[in-house]
Structure 1
């Protein structure tokens, strides 16, 4: 497969630098360019830049690497244009005649789905635009029907269909406006349930199942854009904050022929329940629906009749803490069984569920978590998944049987430690396989799954590997630290070059600590990891710990002990871990302990400095929530319950509550157009710190989002700022 590049680090024998890691002269990390498997499982398609602009779509045979052009860029020149379309994304019609091209994408929340869509007819070699508009499009998520006869898409919050060969578009919904949204998720469903395109064709192409969001009553948060001209611009965002009103979400189907909508008769107030996932149930006779109560501790699995709107319960999943939504299941035995992930026995396991009775059959027995299901092949009778029973910092490929007595086997060879990922081709003969370790950049190969042997290397990242080798740093240490009560935390530690255990060094902890992520992982950490290595070269110890409640594959109880005490338990675990390291590692300077984190890690940094002011000397909090009530309903209530039912938990878990205790050095960093953790969080904390006359530093990045990456030199500026702050307030070097 062809390779592309992402910014990595400039190769040099000299010490690492911020400019070398994030600047324009950096070496690039090789990765496999976006590609997709052929239906035969023996080839793949890839985009390759063409000589005169645009991209060719080419096919490579896996076995011998032979190449052929499927669609040339020269075929994709719109009428009256002088250059081919630039392909942002593409989709083939099921009959392979039509190519749907997404181009000219514009930012829409987390995607660039707001785009122009064109159709190329491989038979007549002609090109026409979806929607027939001459101006830049307002179209989102165009997709082809299974019978290859129509296109469906969203335009101005309504669902449209039109003939694939061109012609007038037909609106299937007509009530879409600024507050009624059809076929498209609202902000919180996209952010927390990963729903983007909120509609799906039925397998027989006669109906479309879809979500409708009534956002009236949802609080509007106004963001202010200040860099666009003489006057500021208000950007309104409907964003339900913890304890406030949600959208009313309904699910239904539209008959494409007559436009008639039938709504599924779901129990309960649509503003007090969620529908985290909906899909067709292995055929066109039913829709599979997951419905959750607002607390997200009870999930109903339902089958909806598209002809009547009636729903039938299949099973219910409950948890004393919370239940995670499943992705759309795979259907087996002609729709009589489906796949399901559950923690019902204390571990996250794969089950098959009987459609008629709801009876669950365990397919991955054992005291380990299934991290991710990769592939289900009923013909071979197997499911492939990622797990790591013996080391939660690593990831390996496993396989189990789908029927009969479960038989779980590890496929990743035992002599290949690290973090492995696999993109498996149809037929499970081939896979795109990537492996990395904390000290080893990713290498990608074409893997023969039948022998677990690479056919050829596609991206080796030799320059980055040499850079790590030449950095002068000892191998990163992975360890566990005992914090008492039978609890051990996973951790890693980077030591400076020429480390002398008889001296004392400053230490900087990298923290996240929320239920959404894991920082202690034996995988390549990219540019941020290189920055940590740069700090180690300067004379810092750099470390990370995963407190209880983080999303590590250490079982249900490990992850869910944090329920209703986010920010409280994790910060206590972290402090205990730091103290245990001080007690057993005399080379850590107790007067030079720092901590930093981003997003949830920013909140945890604030909690660390405020709640344990005599332990930490310096902290950098980037884009951190300061008050839990300022974050969204779905995330915050999932882990903390409703604010009105857990007032003390919300208060004690919010860093702002303890701002009066600050003693150390604190740098607050936030983007002013952060639509996720609003800049309001920083303003309110700053106001509180001023109230208590607490000295601190702050940086506001104008009109940057949660990732703080937009604009020239933003990353260089950000990491240079943090580096200078550490050198000033947490001086490097051995003493």
Structure 2
């Protein structure tokens, strides 16, 4: 969605047209009709993936014909369409850019120029004339200008790698030099009679990061000449740090850059002036574990900066006092003010409203499985005030208008399917009562689902949920299936409608006669303070696994209706690794496991993720070995179904093969299912999802039979 300048309306794509909706009146106006959404020479309307208006609203930039790059559809074609005449021009044609090669095209602040990346180089094009200027020429598959390599995108959320200056005259951009990063060679064996290699530049843990630098280039150079780039003189060894955020100061002239060291436990902010080549360190933070970046609390998007006072100060997030809090910091770094004091974490920033001196954020001090909207003052003198009314316990989300007067409010809990409404703020009243969540929601009966807490024999209190079988009889014994993740990237115990559901099981787990359970161990990203989250540092594969196993034992001791001879566990990615660990390290507890896309050997995963949470293998290799499932594969006693896509560019298929070799060496019998050329999500190709569901369901039914006994 794109907000209007006054914040009272928004533009979206509806039924193939760009439509403006007045929030209070509910009135819709077509801004760009289907009959004007045509490629030149074609009668077929183009699908709209995204759009942007020029400053005068006369022209619309349309993103269409998209293609996937790694996880997201970030490559495609862009068209400039005159709203009055309907005349369309494809961006990049005058620069002879290949079709479906443009990335992150965006208009300059004045709307007169569009910048974009194509084939790893930066270009600009005048909206009025189509005149194209190439800003960089050295781009290759491994020298990347204006966007990022695989690992920066996957682990930092960095995708769009260039920024227009406020005065429209310059562009600041990242350049990633992956020329010395070794390729992981995936093998495509199905799309032709002869196999071919698919190389992915991928720095494994222990490998130095790709040198990355930031350049500033003028867009007002002379005709036919490639304008020179000024490289920012940021201190440090570029092979031992990361540059994770970049934005222009509101007044222009200088940029602010966040630098993380390789271990990601030291963050520095520099104010850099390209003209003077100065780089002034204004703020430093260190941590015994690691420092999260903005992508953690901003929907995996590190772009933007939370400026105040037109750049004199900004809002910053830090865990320096043991909780994830909001701070107001002057741009020179000399003064900081804590905005959210107290023993609780903020989850995300929702909106900053300088006009009312308020900041809205998501938190849940009393129940970390839920989410609510709060606000507090920007001067640090206020107390956090809950804005979400009582009466709808669960998970709330908000997309707030720039003026802070309206928000799209979403709500769900374990009994309520996701619903949304438009509300006014700060009173949190539905704009249209007949369309309010209160009028629309129809809670489902889930009397068999409940949340609980348990304390293990280690003294660790875990959150969990349990979905009991239909027609449950406490005098009988039922099989139990654990759904696990267990690593810092995600949690499984959240109050939303997915609780108790299993998308891979064909049918209803409860009706089939299974107890279905999830637990969140230490190290998961719950709002329980930094000590909870960072206790897993250098302990992945150990502390999280013990918490899960001790939690299972406590459940068994508390509930006589659990059949301990029928215990299954499953998970995907990090959850697949956790599944392997539980089967291997605690074979007396877990009898059956289904592991999907698992990291079998931590030394095979990427450097940014693994070094963030585990340190450097050059210094503490023993932790990586002790935390890898392959180390314990010899202990397998139960039933294992191991599933992996051979085209997984995230968790490479070599993880599967080294684990399979270790199981073979120890004469461990198991079942394996490779999905040819499928990626980490195992979704490509006709019939894949159904096949995976059938495989999963049949295995579970066979080796962990359902129903009471």
TM-score range (shorter-chain normalised) is over 0.9
Alpha-carbon distance in 1 for matches of 2:253, 2:527: 37
Q: Is the 8 A contact 1:128 1:166 kept in 2?
A: no
**Which residue in the other structure is 2:315 paired with?**
339
Q: Which runs of 4+ in 1 moved over 3 A?
A: 456-466, 526-533
**Which residue in the other structure is 2:299 paired with?**
none
Deviations 1:31-70 (A, max 9, x none): xxxx333222222222122xxxxx2211122222222211
Offset of residue 404 of structure 1: 4.9
Offset of residue 719 of structure 1: 1.6
Offset of residue 662 of structure 1: 0.4
**Which residue in the other structure is 2:674 paired with?**
700
Task: Name the TM-score, length of structure 1 as normaliser.
Answer: 0.91
**Which residue in the other structure is 1:240 paired with?**
203
Offset of residue 531 of structure 1: 5.5
Q: Which moved more, 1:58-67 or 1:474-483?
A: 58-67
**Which residue in the other structure is 1:225 paired with?**
188
Q: Is the 8 A contact 2:504 2:697 kept in 1?
A: no
Q: Which moved more, 1:655-664 or 1:174-183?
A: 174-183
Deviations 1:242-263 (A, max 9, x none): 0013211011211112322111
Cα distance change on mapping 1:552 and 1:134 into 2, 3 Å: closer
Which of 121, 129, 133 pairs up with 1:158?
Answer: 121
Which of 644, 664, 684 pairs up with 1:690?
Answer: 664
The equivalences for 1:258-657 within 5 A come to 258=221, 259-326=227-294, 327=302, 328-456=304-432, 468-469=444-445, 474-525=447-498, 529=502, 534-657=508-631
Offset of residue 134 of structure 1: 8.2
Alpha-carbon distance in 1 for matches of 2:427, 2:381: 24
Offset of residue 387 of structure 1: 0.3
**Which residue in the other structure is 1:669 paired with?**
643
The equivalences for 1:21-170 within 5 A come to 35-49=1-15, 55-132=16-93, 133=96, 136-170=99-133
Offset of residue 425 of structure 1: 1.3
Equivalent pairs counted in the alignment come to 692
Q: Which moved more, 1:482-491 or 1:557-566?
A: 482-491
**Which residue in the other structure is 2:705 paired with?**
731
Deviations 1:675-697 (A, max 9, x none): 10011111111111011110001
Cα distance change on mapping 1:369 and 1:231 into 2, 3 Å: same
Task: Name the TM-score, length of structure 2 as normaliser.
Answer: 0.95
The equivalences for 1:202-221 within 5 A come to 202-221=165-184
Alpha-carbon distance in 2 for matches of 1:238, 1:549: 29
**Which residue in the other structure is 1:194 paired with?**
157
Q: Is the 8 A contact 2:460 2:547 kept in 1?
A: no
Alpha-carbon distance in 2 for matches of 1:124, 1:589: 71
SS at match of 2:612: helix
Offset of residue 308 of structure 1: 2.6
Q: Is the 8 A contact 2:387 2:426 kept in 1?
A: no
Q: Is the 8 A contact 1:474 1:497 kept in 2?
A: no
Offset of residue 560 of structure 1: 0.3
Cα distance change on mapping 1:562 and 1:281 into 2, 3 Å: same
Offset of residue 234 of structure 1: 1.2
Q: Which moved more, 1:92-101 or 1:392-401?
A: 92-101
Q: Which moved more, 1:175-184 or 1:199-208?
A: 175-184
Cα distance change on mapping 1:501 and 1:647 into 2, 3 Å: same
Alpha-carbon distance in 1 for matches of 2:401, 2:441: 28
SS at match of 1:646: helix
Q: Which runs of 5+ in 2 are unaligned?
A: 222-226, 295-301
Q: Which moved more, 1:165-174 or 1:720-729?
A: 165-174
Q: Is the 8 A contact 1:442 1:460 kept in 2?
A: no
Q: Is the 8 A contact 1:182 1:211 kept in 2?
A: yes
Alpha-carbon distance in 1 for matches of 2:525, 2:375: 22
Does 1 or 2 have the higher relative contact order (CA < 8 Å, sep 6+)?
Answer: 1
Aligned-residue Cα RMSD (Å) equals: 1.9
Offset of residue 354 of structure 1: 1.0
Alpha-carbon distance in 1 for matches of 2:17, 2:154: 33
**Which residue in the other structure is 2:653 paired with?**
679
Cα distance change on mapping 1:535 and 1:461 into 2, 3 Å: farther
Offset of residue 459 of structure 1: 9.3
Deviations 1:355-408 (A, max 9, x none): 123422100111110000011111111111000001110000000110151321
SS at match of 2:151: helix
Alpha-carbon distance in 1 for matches of 2:439, 2:702: 35
